[in-house]
A and B are shown apart, each in its own frame.
Chain A
Amino acid sequence: MEDSETLEIYKFPQAKYIDALRWFSPLSAFSKFVVLALHDSDSDISTIEIKTLNLSNQSKPFLQLHSSWTSPSRVSSLRVSQTPHKPILSASTFDGSLHFLFAHPVEVSLDSEISVGEKGFHIGPISGIDLFGNNGVECVSVGEDGRVNLVSLGGDSKASYRQVFDSQGLVSYTAVKWASPTEFVTGGLGDSLQWWDLRKPGGVVSQFKGSWAHGNTSGIVHSIDIHPSRKHVCVAGGSSGAVFAWDLRRQQQQILLSGSGHGEAKPHSFSESEIWEVQYDCYTPSSDIGNTSSAQILPVMTCSEDGILAIVEKDVEPEQILAEPCAVNSFDINLQNPSDVICSLEWESVAYLSRQ
């Protein structure tokens, strides 16, 4: 709660719809960079833009365009590889193509681009991607078409993909997150999560279906996060304000951090609408410091359709950081400086929050 006293919020109108946004941390550490995937509804042009966040003392902070790239279709998911010497942006589109953009580590200009988008890669929109890797980059992509693909970016800057699974539309996937170099988790309809292991091909290794919802309704998982130090626990956000965790070692146990659950374990709830994104918040200290067991779930930041950016922790009243009259569609915590958060607002603007 002390954080809120020193919270500074700045908004930057973009005059374009923001499809996705990420912090970007190349070598030049003097300035802060943000990557935005923008869509201009009048001209129907989608761009990916790198912008500098100017934080001088003389004037109000502002975003300045640094370099940009025009995307063939609207961006559905945006990821950034966190290796400073070789910054890579990766964007998937609603047309089912995947693009890798290579940025110059010092000048932060977008130098070259590789696309994957041949027939048979994905049918229809790619709903989620995630990057992993240090030398070569591995990108896993999932779509509503039920395909799970693995794209490898070799040292020779060539991309090749292989299909991990194809459910032929019987199952749709809506989110994906790497857990280790060989394991990843996908999310889908019916508040479901699937655990995959590349060493065990042919299908999911394990799956989970949430059943806290009232009556016959259930939801869609929109975002998943896995803490690097607790790979067996993943947190996910979905419909009806549900933020939940799945512990692989206690597979049948439902851990609802927030949402309108029923039964004996009624969690705190701050929203009843879609939770668009979840990320572990390493800036907020856990309220339960004494408990260092690996079953503990660390604080998670979430954003929702009803305009709330909040920190959620198990059995703790959610802490609201931002309450907007419009949806908060996505956000990102700066890994280099976790007190910095940016989020995209439905009404064509970006908000920057500094928790000092």
Chain B
Amino acid sequence: MPGRLSDSGMFIIPTPPDSVRTSDSGNSLIPYSPEVRDPVIYNLHHGLKPPISRLSISWSRGNCLRVSFFRVDSTETDTSYVEGEVGGKVVEVKLNVEDGEIGDAERRRIAYGSVAPYAHLQGQKNTVSALSKMSMSSSSYYVEWWQHVIEYSKEINSLLGNPEPPPSSLIEDPKTVLKVVEEPTCLKAAWELMEIFYADKRPQAWLPERLVDWLRDFDSLLTDTEATVHSKLVNLQKEIVNLQVVEDDFNYWEGISSALAVGWLDIVVKLLRLHGSYQLDQLGDRETENGLVEAVAVLVTKMPRLRSESSDRRLGECFETRPEFMKAWEKWRGQVAKLESSAYWVQCDHRQTRESLRKVLQIMLGNVNSLITSACHWMELFIAKFLYVRPFTTGLEGMYSLAKKCMELKPASSTQRLMGLILGILEENTEVVLAECSKSFGPWMVAHVMELLTAGNNQAEMLLHEERHNLGGISIEELHRLVYAQVLSSHALTWQIAPVYLISCPKQGLGMLEILLYKQPMQHNHTLLKNLEICRLYELSGISSNLMKIAGVYHWKHGRKGSGVFWLQQAQDEARLNRIAQELFDFVGKSISDDSFKQWEGLIELLGNETRTAGGLEFLHKYRDFKKSLQQVKGGNVTDVAQQAVESLIMIMKNPSTPQRFWLPLMHDSLKLLTWPERPLLNVSQTNLLLNKLQELSIAKLCPDYCETDLPSQALSSVRLALATNLGRAILEE
């Protein structure tokens, strides 16, 4: 990455706004726009005195860049080295590539919320595929399957914001034509679009009406710079409150025809009813005029619609089946035509009302020119054509060419990211749809929308599930899941939901999961335990034992011996336990006096008395027990107790895991037992064992790695003497 140092102690990184770029555009699956926008400049203040000798740039978590500044090496320039001056500094820069529509926290909220629906759907997918393998009747599963998908889609959609209507007041202001709701997001608009075209398997004939609904919710998003029907109505709403005679206002009539063109019938009716001729004092004079306005209003409310009956009645008369709808449509058109050619128009005195109402009727009759003037955006014209010119359209037939035609008639000066997606969908080109989703809405969108794309669409399913050589043998679906999982992994709070996505990647998921788990910091038990929980859920016992080993060594190195032993024990890492045992024994040799076992008590308790779990550390346990019995012996001169102490001494001495350096101290501690006044406590063979150990010790003394104990110099000889005496007494006794 090119960078340069400025004179003012700042470092500037110019970056292209698209942080991801493919160099070989010929092979790339996802086309990136080659347009180069202005570079973004980040100013970093490092606050170091020049000269800066070295720079190091690396990625930190997420899209954070870590820039390290080093001053001139202090060893080389001893003369200029001043005490207390920092030799370098690390600065983190957050490269902002967010689109600004959705903040980080909101993005995380969506990510969290989509885990459960996603996991649920994957679970169902597995069940369904298992079932369909058993019985061949796949058609019934297919029907069931899209119900699962639509359920999933609805759940995800609800995460993307549900603009709640403000509490409706009891007395509705007749002048409130358009209710102000929270601005919807493009992400939600895109998701709903995908849902309409891919997941919703209701009759295809309803598709145009579903698009009408979509436009109603998201019309405001179509363009930022140009007018839309929505923006027109918003302006009109502001104006209307102050207007005395609405029917004289040009915008009023404009608003009516525009709203009608895109099928917002309730708004049209509301506006019409604001007409001055409805006022009681005017009713007498403008009877015909009022009659015409009302006639149009009634026709608007009676407009037949081919859609589900369940939607609210504000949209005209709904018909669910085509034949019914066609009959009603012909009838309604007849009524409209009749009104259009009625003689009453001549009697209408108000010129503007007369002309504008006839224009409204022209829209209803499907006059293309009227539609073109009433719609603002090509998408609006597109919808208007379905409503009034091609009411019987089924499915996607001819939609793409119609859209192209509309775009020619209403060219948009700026490209909106939703438009690319819409065109891709209408073109029925899965690759373009995917690319647009990825480019405009990011990895979250692609990873989740995949389920909609493949729902019951065999061609798309083949395309997305096919394993590709140029992707390293994985499918496009897996690729996008992996990408999304990477995004999740790069954040300290979302990494733990990445496994849900990784586990649904059949080829590389497990490998990436392994890397992810190893990358998590081990400092806090909390993180470690959460890591281990993930291992438990996905049955990764190998990784979990490695993680415990890492944690064990980490704690051991940081002086938390207990924690170190605990985690190594959990990992059943006997090799390392034996290794650290040696270090612990050094510590013991120095620190354990007769009464300071208190400190060790907890650790010894932790070790338990099972040999397997403690490795070489089991010695500590025995040592403690032996010391305890010695203490009891010192308390009173009871031969039985002393005899027990001797037994445990012999046990320890026989045990191969007892370190050599403890032999002499152990025997020295038990001098009292060796010279027990009443009778010899050790028999001949036991005494011989100890004597042999002494012999071994004397040989070992010659070795270079012999560990000197801090016992008095005569310790060896006094032990030898005591043993010899005991041997003599024991022989006599036997």
Find residues 462-507 in chain B having any chain A CB closer than 8 Å to their own CB.
491-493, 496
Residues of A near B605 (CB, < 8 A) are: 190, 192, 207, 209
Q: Does B665 contact A (CB under 8 A)?
A: no
Instruction: State which of A217, A272, A348 has its C-beta within 8 Å of the C-beta of B570.
Output: A217
How far, in whole Å, are A82 and B116 apart by their CA atoms in the complex?
38
Q: Closest A-chain residue to B569, C-beta based? A: A216
Q: Are A305 and B529 in contact (CB under 8 A)?
A: yes
How far, in whole Å, are A202 and B570 apart by their CA atoms in the complex?
30
Within the complex, the shortest CB–CB distance from B293 to chain A, in Å, comes to: 40
Q: Are A346 and B603 in contact (CB under 8 A)?
A: no
Residues of A near B572 (CB, < 8 A) are: 216
Number of B residues, CB within 8 Å of A: 43
Q: Are B602 and A167 in contact (CB under 8 A)?
A: yes
- The binding surface of chain A is classed by DSSP as loop
How far, in whole Å, are A218 and B562 apart by their CA atoms in the complex?
14
- Given A168-B599, A274-B533, A145–B524 Cβ distance below 8 Å? no
How far, in whole Å, are A144 and B524 apart by their CA atoms in the complex?
10
Q: Does B49 contact A (CB under 8 A)?
A: no
Q: Closest B-chain residue to A167, C-beta based? A: B599
Residues 421-438 of chain B, each 1 if its beta carbon lies under 8 Å from chain A, else 0: 000000000000000000
Residues 160-182 of chain A, each 1 if its beta carbon lies under 8 Å from chain B, else 0: 00000001111110100000000
Find residues 548-572 in chain B having any chain A CB closer than 8 Å to their own CB.
555, 558-563, 566, 569-570, 572
Q: Are B601 and A15 in contact (CB under 8 A)?
A: no
Residues 246-287 of chain B, each 1 if its beta carbon lies under 8 Å from chain A, else 0: 000000000000000000000000000000000000000000
Instruction: State which of A41, A168, A203, A220 has its C-beta within 8 Å of the C-beta of B493.
Output: A41
Q: Are B560 and A192 in contact (CB under 8 A)?
A: no
Q: Does A244 contact B (CB under 8 A)?
A: no
Q: Does A140 contact B (CB under 8 A)?
A: no
How far, in whole Å, are A13 and B135 apart by their CA atoms in the complex?
45
Q: Are B601 and A169 in contact (CB under 8 A)?
A: no
Find residues 82-121 in chain B having any chain A CB closer than 8 Å to their own CB.
94, 104-106, 108-109, 112, 115-116, 119
How far, in whole Å, are A325 and B603 apart by their CA atoms in the complex?
37
Q: Are A124 and B558 in contact (CB under 8 A)?
A: yes
Looking at B530, B599, B602, the one whose CB has the most chain A CB atoms below 10 A away is B602
- The binding surface of chain B is classed by DSSP as helix
Number of A residues, CB within 8 Å of B: 48
Q: Are B599 and A348 in contact (CB under 8 A)?
A: no
Residues of B near A172 (CB, < 8 A) are: 555, 560, 562-563, 566
Residues of B near A327 (CB, < 8 A) are: 530
Within the complex, the shortest CB–CB distance from B552 to chain A, in Å, comes to: 11
Segment of B233-241, B407-415, B606-614, B688-696 engaged in the interface with chain A: B606-614
Residues of B near A127 (CB, < 8 A) are: 525
Residues of A near B559 (CB, < 8 A) are: 123, 145, 168-169
Within the complex, the shortest CB–CB distance from A306 to chain B, in Å, comes to: 8
Q: Does A146 contact B (CB under 8 A)?
A: yes
Q: Does B21 contact A (CB under 8 A)?
A: no
Q: Are B562 and A189 in contact (CB under 8 A)?
A: yes
Find residues 581-609 in chain B having any chain A CB closer than 8 Å to their own CB.
598-603, 605-606, 608
How far, in whole Å, are A305 and B613 apart by their CA atoms in the complex?
27
Within the complex, the shortest CB–CB distance from B621 to chain A, in Å, comes to: 13
Find residues 194-246 in chain A having any chain B CB closer than 8 Å to their own CB.
194, 202-204, 207, 209, 211, 216-218, 220, 239
Q: Does A125 contact B (CB under 8 A)?
A: yes
Residues 123-151 of chain A, each 1 if its beta carbon lies under 8 Å from chain B, else 0: 11101000000000000000011100000
Q: Which residues of A contact B (CB under 8 A)?
A: 13, 15-17, 41-42, 94, 123-125, 127, 144-146, 167-172, 174, 188-190, 192, 194, 202-204, 207, 209, 211, 216-218, 220, 239, 272-274, 305-306, 325-327, 346-348
Q: Which residues of B contact A (CB under 8 A)?
A: 94, 104-106, 108-109, 112, 115-116, 119, 491-493, 496, 524-525, 529-530, 533, 536, 555, 558-563, 566, 569-570, 572, 598-603, 605-606, 608, 610, 612-613
